[in-house]
Amino acid sequence: MSTPIRHTYTEEQIAAIADAINGSTTPIDLLHNTIDIVYRLLLAADPDINPSEARVINMHRYAIPAVQWSAILHAASDRAQPWGMAVHIAVDLSPILPPRYDDPGVPDPKITVRRYDPLVHHIDVTLPAAQVIAAANAYIDRLAAFYGQDSRYYLDAVGSWQRHLSAVFSLACGTANGSRTRVHRHRPLSLLVQTSSGVLYELTWNGQLRLCRHCGATVTDDGAADGGNPDCGHEPSYPVDGPEPGTWTFKY
C-alpha cells in the first residue's frame, strides 16, 4: 500500500467544515455533510485527482493530523447532541473519516458548534412512572434512615438518582424534533425513557449483592449463605434487616 497523502486543513478549510456541521438539520444530513466537506477539500488539494470526475473515493489515500481528526469528530458529535445522537454519530463517523497521524506542530483547531436546544421540553410521565419516582424517593429516605445521611450507601444512591433524573428533564438525553420525552415504568425503582428523536434508554436501579466480607458467599435476606466457605461465620457486607444499597445508571 502506498504512503497516504498527508494533508493539513487550513484555517479557512476548518471554517468550511464547521459551517457544514453547523448547517446540518438532521443526523443523516450531519453525517453526509461532514463526510462530503472533509473529502471534497482533500480531493481539491490532490493534484492527481479531478474532483468533478471522482466517483469512488479511496479514504486510505489520505491522512490528516490527529488533532484535526479529533476536532471534526467531536464537533459533529456535539452538533448531534440535541438529537440524542452524539454517540451514534461518533460511532458512524469515526470509521469513514480519513486515517490520522500525529503531528505535534499542528495546533488544535477550535470548531465552535452552535447550540440548537429548543426552548420547551415536553415530558409525558405515565402514572406508573410517577409512582416509580415516588417509590425511588421513598427508598432513598429508607437508606438515609437506616444507614444515616452521611453513609456511603445513602450518598451514592441519592447522588445517582438526582443526577440521572435531572438529565431526563434536561436536554442532555436526546430531545429534538419536537422535544418531547415519554417516561414509563420499567421495573420497580426503574424507568424506561423514550425521546422524540427515537432514542430509548433505561434509568435502572442496580441493587448491591449482599456478600460475605470474608469468603464472598452470597448472604440471603434470612442470613443463610450460598456458596463460599462452609466453615466461615459469614459477615454480610450490609445488614440482613437493612434496605438493599445500590445506585441508578442509564442503560442504552
Q: Where do the domains of the chain lie?
A: 5-101, 122-251
How many whole angstroms separate alpha carbon 236 and alpha carbon 128?
34
* Radius of gyration in angstroms for the set of CA atoms belonging to the chain, rounded to a whole number: 26
DSSP label at residue 83 = G
pLDDT, mean of residues 59-73: 93
The yes-or-no verdict on residue 58 having pLDDT over 90 is no
Parallel/antiparallel/unpaired status of strands 218-219 and 225-226: antiparallel
The yes-or-no verdict on residue 223 having pLDDT over 80 is no
Residues near 245 by beta carbon (within 8 Å), at least 6 away in sequence: 143, 147, 153, 156, 157, 207, 208, 238
Is pLDDT larger for residue 226 or for residue 192? 192
Burial class (CB within 10 angstroms; exposed 0-12, middle 13-18, buried 19+) of 203:
buried
Q: So what's the pLDDT on residue 172?
A: 53
Q: So what's the pLDDT on residue 178?
A: 47
What number of other Cβ atoms are within 10 A of residue 157's Cβ?
Answer: 26
pLDDT-based confidence at residue 176 (cuts at 50, 70, 90): very low
In sequence order, which ranges of the chain are alpha helices (DSSP H)?
11-22, 27-44, 66-80, 86-93, 127-147, 152-169
